[in-house]
Structures are given as structure tokens and as C-alpha cells.
A and B are shown apart, each in its own frame.
Chain A
Amino acid sequence: MTWADLPALYPMLIPAATAVLLLLTLTVRRDARLAAGVAMAGFIAGLLALAASAAELSHPVTMLLTVDRFAVVFWGILLFAGLLVSVFAVGYFRTLREPREEFYLLWLLAVVGAMVMAASAHFAAFFLGLELLSVSLYVLIAYPRMQSRAVEAGVKYLILAGASSAFVLFGMALTYAATGTLTFAELFTHLTLFPGDVLLLGGVVMILVGVGFKLALVPFHFWTPDVYEGAPLPVTAAVATVSKGAAFALLTRLLLGVIQAQPGHSTLAVIFTLLALASMIVGNLLALAQGNLKRLLAYSSIANMGYALTAFIAGGDAARVAIPYFFAGYIVAVLAAFGVMTQLSTPEHELQEVEDYRGLAWRYPWSAALLTVALLSLAGIPLTAGFLGKFFVLTAGMAAGRWTLVVTLVLTSGLGLYYYLRVITALYQAPLEGEQPTPPPLHLPHRLSVLTGLALAVLAALLLLLGVYPSPVLHLLAWP
């Protein structure tokens, strides 16, 4: 590595340096607003530095990382999600009586870990990024330490994520024994030359278990609803966006080439097809009967990862556009949904049940409108980001002739429409008067700050813009 390589890494180095700076700041002055401000400045500086990385694309920086267009696009998505989650956290944690400065510190580190994963070209970088993200998330999930549910969710995530890391590591050790290399490029060569090597294939499958856990693919999804429900809302948003985006970027980097190079029904392709089918079907079916909005979004995210996997299995240039576009739409929609929920909740009292949102439109029309658009986007209704994302995924699937996946995607999306619409109808129903003397309290615990209002407005604009005017983003995504 030379000095000339450094600018390409600025978007990642700046948030990392901000974390150190924040640590030093906290020793001098403990102030939650200051901490949040420093973290947001770090994310914004990182976003601005993307221009420097984009100037010199597609070059390996040491043997550990590759900064190409794919990495830069995902870095942009991750930094954007990082910024918005910290904005939401400011309002949400306002009533927390415990120290809340460290939240921003850990969150910066988690996003840096996710960025390392998205750009990694070597197992060492992969594992380091994965652990930086996971260990930060353990603490973030259990952050409100007086809330029993958060602590329970934290312990569950700790033990299961620890086990999944062990699977990843054991898989790496097996592939190393089989190939003698830790770089993705060499792994690709070996996998295409010897597709039947048991040791190698076993290693790759074990790595898949770990990645599948992070993506909450069926059958590795059991932790998802509990962790979503127990974690504080901004962290739930983080688990649903940053953690999944990073894991999927990594999966694409590691295996998209292999899937493409191998004939249509190789062992790996079959495994991925089964995972995708199971995720789409089980995720959507379990969401149907769900009365808790956080758990509903958890199952919806499982199904969405199944959709993304469809594009991944299809491979080809279409997938290279479809995957980032789908993720951009998914992440914006999820952030918008959780953003609205965050504004109506405090750590002590979160609005989680669908029933809690009954009649929201009559009190907070703008919040209800944004939540509606976000859910419609997740359902894939035209004019929203989610529709185009799904459209590109379907195009990729059809181009590759993966008809089982395409048909399942369409059918299960229809199923999904039902439960999203159930929430949306609740938003516009009149509050119950007869059955309950007092409808569930829907109070804004604090006035909407300018910053949060701005963040929600940006999300709303992006949801519609990505849905009707995709060409600037598509131009950006044109694979080098």
C-alpha cells in the first residue's frame, strides 16, 4: 500500500477516526448532543469523501480490500443508513436516564465494520469486519440496560451471532486447508477448477451458514423476530439495514462469480435456490398472522432477503444492477418505517403493536403518510422504490431462466401485500371508541426536531424518486 491508495479509503477511515475522536471528546466533556453531532459529522464527511474514492475505481488496496464501484455504492448506502440511524437515535434516546453518549461511538464502529465487509477481498478483512459489526451490535442491542427485553435480545444475539462467527471461521479454516489461500480471488479459481472438492465445498457451505445467519435466511432466521422486538428501535433499524446490506455485499463479492461460472445446477446454486425459496415462503407466511409491527417487519425482511437472493442466483450483469438497486430501495423503505416508529416511541414505551397505530393518520397525517409509502414500497407497489427494485430482480431472474424462483417471488409478493395493507388500513381507521373507553395513547413524546423532520422528508423523497426516476442511480451502477 502506498500513499496514493489512501484517498480511496477515506470514506472508511474518516468514520473510524471520528470514533477515536469521539472517544477522546467524551473524556473531556460528556454531552449526548455533542456526541451525536460528532458522529453525524463523521458520517457526512465519509459521504463527501466517497467522491475521492469514486475518482479512482477498481483497484485493490493492499490484498485485503478492493475499492470498486460496487464497494463505493454500498459504502454510500451504509453511510447514509448510519447517518439516519444516528439522527433517529437523538430523539428516541432523549428520555433515557442512563449515559447515551457511547451509543454513537459504538454505532460509528459498527458502520466501519460493515464497510470493511462490503469492500473485503480477503478472509482476514471479512472476519475482522464481521466481528467489528457483530460485537458493536451486541452492545447496541442491549444498550438500554434497564430494559429487560433489550438485554434478553442482546444475549440471544450474542450467543447466536457468536456461533455463526464460529461457523464462518471454521469454514475459512477448511477452505484454507483445501486451497492454501485466504483471498477471494484464489478461492474463485479453486472453486471453478475443482467444484467437487469436499473439503472446499464443506468450508464454503459453513461460511454460508454464517452469512445466512446475518441475512436471516430461512432456516437461520430464528433469532430475527425476538431481536427485532427486544432491541431499541434505532438499533432494530440498524440490524435490518446496515448488517444485512453488508452481509449481502460480502456474499456477492465472495460467490457471485462462482455461481455465474458454474453450470446452472451446481451444488451451490441448488443450495442458494433452496434458501431463497424457503425465505420467501416462510417469511411471508409467518408475517401474515403477526400483530406486532416490529416482528412483522422482521418476517418481511426475511422475505426480502429471499427476493434479493433471487437476483444473486440469476447472476449476470442484470444482477449487478438489481442487487444494489433492490438494496437501496429496501433500506430506504425500512429506514422510513422505523424512522416513523422511532418518533412515536421512547425507550421505556415503544409503540409496537399494529393496534397502537390505529387511527394514526387522524393525529399525525404526515407520519402516517410516510409509513404508508414505506410499507407500499416494501410491498412493491408501482411508483415506489420497492417496485423498481423488485422489477429489476425479476428481470434478472427471467433473463437467467430461473422460473421457479420468479414464480415464487410473484406469488409470495401477493401474499405480502395482504399484511402490509392490513397495517395501512389500521393507520386510516377511526380510533376505536365503543369497545375501548380510551384508545391507546398516541402521543409524541417530544416535538419533532428539525433534523428528524428533514431526515424523514429526505426518505420520503427518495422513496418516490427511486420509484419514478431511476436513471441517475442506474447510471451510477453501470458496472465497470
Chain B
Amino acid sequence: MVPFAWIILVSILLFALGAIALITRRNAVAALMGVELMLNAANLNFVAAWRYYYPDHLDAQVAVLLVITIAAAEAAVGLAIILNLYRRFGTVDLDQIRLMRG
């Protein structure tokens, strides 16, 4: 079987990719996708930890189901707000939306 450390490494990589997407992409929807990627990196970590170390406990599986549900709710609310952002500003480019600074 693949060593556990590799899976942790992949999940850290996935998390970093999500974070990079969040920082570099100026499109609000793409930034939200970065957040989803970060959440899924955590899920991968949970599942791997369950499979390798604690196969007798169901904690991790329940946690993953919980996260999937919550991420869906968050995406739904987030997209609604971004839709409204588009209606107000005519764009979803985060660089162009700067009414407040100081």
C-alpha cells in the first residue's frame, strides 16, 4: 500500500493549490473554487487517516459527510452572493470591486 506520508503530502499539495488559486485568481467564482479545493484536501486527509490508522472508528467518515454537506450549503450561499455582486457591479473581478480602502 502507498505509505501514509505520501497521502498527507498529496493533501497538503491540494490544500496549497487551493490557497494559491484563492490568492492569485481574481475571479470571485474561481476563488470560491479554491476554497472548495482546500476543503476537499482536508477530506482526503480524514479518509486516509481513517483507512490507515483508525479503521475501527467511524468519526472520520461522519466528519467527511458533514463537511460535504456544509461545503454544499456554503457554495449555494456563496454563489447567490456572487450573483448579486455581478448585478451590482457588472463584474466578478475582485480587483475591480474596491469601493472601500484606507
A residues with CB within 8 A of B: 123-124, 127-128, 131, 134-135, 138-139, 142, 145-146, 148-149, 151-155, 158-159, 162-163, 165-167, 169-170, 172-174, 176-177, 180-182, 199, 225-226, 229-230, 290, 292, 295
Contact = CB atoms under 8 A, between A and B. Distances in A.
B4 to A, nearest CB: 8
7 contacts: A139-B80, A152-B99, A155-B81, A165-B39, A166-B39, A169-B67, A170-B11
A170 B28 CA distance: 22
* Interface of B (DSSP majority class): helix
A124 B43 CA distance: 13
A445 B6 CA distance: 62
Contact of B39 (A169, A177, A290): A169
Given A124-B63, A162-B35, A180 B57 contact: yes
A225 B81 contact: no
From A146, A153, A177, A230, residue with most partner B Cβ within 10 Å: A177
Nearest to A149: B99
Interface string B29-45: 00110110011011101
B74 A131 contact: yes
Contacts of A199: 8
B15 A166 contact: yes
A64 to B, nearest CB: 11
B48 to A, nearest CB: 7
Nearest to B98: A152
A226 B97 CA distance: 12
Given A149-B99, A151-B81, A155-B81, A177 B53 contact: yes
Given A146-B88, A151-B81, A170-B15, 18 more contacts: A127-B70, A131-B70, A148-B89, A155-B85, A159-B94, A162-B74, A169-B39, A173-B43, A176-B45, A176-B49, A176-B59, A176-B63, A177-B45, A180-B49, A199-B8, A229-B100, A230-B99, A292-B102
Contacts of B28: 155, 159
B31 A142 contact: no
A435 to B, nearest CB: 23
B49 A173 contact: yes
A374 B54 CA distance: 52
A163 B16 CA distance: 11
Contact of A127 (B32, B38, B66, B82): B66
A34 B28 CA distance: 36
A166 B35 contact: yes
Nearest to A128: B66
B63 A172 contact: yes
A170 B45 contact: yes
B36 to A, nearest CB: 8
Indicate the size class of the contact surface on chain B: 35 or more
A173 B46 contact: yes
A138 B78 contact: yes
Contact of A148 (B19, B38, B41, B99): B99
A181 B63 CA distance: 11
Contacts of A176: 45-46, 49, 59-60, 63
Nearest to A157: B81
Interface of B: 4, 8, 11, 15, 18-19, 22, 28, 31-32, 34-35, 38-39, 41-43, 45-46, 48-49, 53-54, 57, 59-60, 62-63, 66-67, 70, 73-74, 77-78, 80-82, 84-85, 87-89, 94, 97-102
B100 A226 contact: yes
A182 B84 contact: no
Contact of A173 (B45, B74, B80, B102): B45
A153 B85 CA distance: 10
Contacts of B38: 163, 166-167, 169-170
A295 B102 CA distance: 9
A131 B66 CA distance: 11
A155 B49 contact: no
Contact of B100 (A139, A167, A169, A230): A230
B70 A149 contact: no
Contacts of B101: 226
Contacts of B19: 163
Contacts of A134: 74
Contacts of A173: 11, 42-43, 45-46, 49
A163 B22 contact: yes
A142 B42 contact: no
Contacts of B35: 159, 162-163, 165-166
A132 to B, nearest CB: 9
Contacts of B78: 138, 158, 162
B85 A151 contact: yes
A190 to B, nearest CB: 13
Nearest to A178: B49
A159 B88 contact: no
Contacts of B42: 166, 169-170, 172-173
Contacts of A162: 32, 35, 74, 78
Nearest to B28: A155
